[in-house]
Amino acid sequence: MDRKDFNSILSRNQIPSLLLFEGEEEYMKQSALSNLRKKLLPEGMEDLNETVLDAPETDMLISASETLPFMADRRLVIVRDHPALIGRAEADDRLSAYLSAVPPTTVLLFYCTKKPDGRKKLYTTIKKQNGIVIFSPLKDRELTSFVTSAFKDLGRECDDRTADFLIFTCGSDAGRLMTEIAKIASHGEAGTPVHPDEVLTLATPSAECTVFQMVDAVVSGQNDRAFILMRNQLLNGTDRLYMLSMLLRQFRLLQHIRIMQYEKCSKDAIRAALGVPPFAADQYMRQATMYTNAQIKQAVSICFNTEYAVKSGRMNLEGSLESVMLKLLALRTPSSDA
């Protein structure tokens, strides 16, 4: 089941005795756990009805699960990153057999912060009982709605376009977005709408957004700004190879836009194909028009060859990004439509 399915069974109070939380979206996973705690554990009785175990022996896990709740209908047993799910160990026969006999007075939750191995005996046993809840990253309108709702909960109004701008600036990780939302929400008065300038001024851009800004600086002839953005990302600990891959992705995107423009695709069709917010698609299209087809092809080649040279050991990672930036800046000349 996914996050929505879990929220549904939670609201109907039909929580199974065996669950496994997995998935990349850690913030939503933590939120689901918080909601599960609120549903199961009476206020003031939380510590008496919850047990958290790290890599427990089977006897300890069974003992915790068999303990009756105190002044509550059910108790919660949380097993974090069990080695039989994320490590080399395998669940013993006693544990596998017990999972089908967890008492109705207990909710046994296996919580994975790392990706579990779907081939493991423990995983397949839980899967057979329909206990797996997958927390995938939020996407598209669901992500936009998450941002606008979060601002509303904090007393600010945010329209979809500004929400998309924040997502484009900071990335789609819900936990990081919540940090930025709290920062921006506290900046203005309650009830006032969030302005894009607040996002621009206050939000910390992701590495992907910074690469977009770097390319924007390159195509605009702002050489100093391009290198300042690159230096700041490196000082923040961003990996050079990651930035190289992002530059390659960016110029490939511009190349796809030029191909679609050559094929007379409408702007709406291009926006839909890119799968990014409309304002971002417009910016990508603007960047693409600043190059000839040949220049974009050469930019892709520069980025690809450098990344390949680094990965194959023919080029030192140190200085590779700077070398690419110099070549891209040298490439940029006033273009005519090709």
Q: 189-207: per-residue pLDDT in tens?
A: 888 999 999 998 999 888 8
The one-character DSSP state at 133 is E
Residue 140: band (very low, low, confident or very high) from pLDDT cuts 50, 70, 90 = confident
For the chain, the structural domain boundaries read: 3-134, 140-202, 207-331
pLDDT confidence of residue 175 = 93
CATH number of 3-134: 3.40.50.300
CATH topology of domain 207-331: Zinc Finger, Delta Prime; domain 3 (1.20.272)
Top-tier CATH class for 140-202: mainly alpha
Sequence-separated (6 or more) residues with CB below 8 Å from residue 155? 185, 190, 191
| Higher pLDDT among residues 336 and 76, named by residue | 76
Which strands form 75-80's sheet, in the order they lie side by side? Answer: 50-54, 75-80, 106-111, 18-22, 132-134
Residue holding tokens 């609120």?
A: 38
* Residue 252, helix vs strand vs coil: helix
Q: Convert the pLDDT of each residue in 277-309 to its tens digit.
A: 777 788 888 888 888 888 899 999 999 999 999
154: nearest Cα among 176, 185, 196: 185
Return mean pLDDT, the chain.
89
- The bridge status of strand 75-80 relative to strand 50-54 is parallel
From residue 111, alpha-carbon distances to 55, 115, 221, 231 in Å are 11, 10, 50, 38
Structure tokens at 267: 């702007």
133: nearest Cα among 172, 107, 160: 107
Does the structure show a pLDDT above 60 at 269?
yes
Residue 338: band (very low, low, confident or very high) from pLDDT cuts 50, 70, 90 = very low
Q: pTM (2 decimals)?
A: 0.74
Q: What DSSP element (H or E) covers 107?
A: strand 106-111
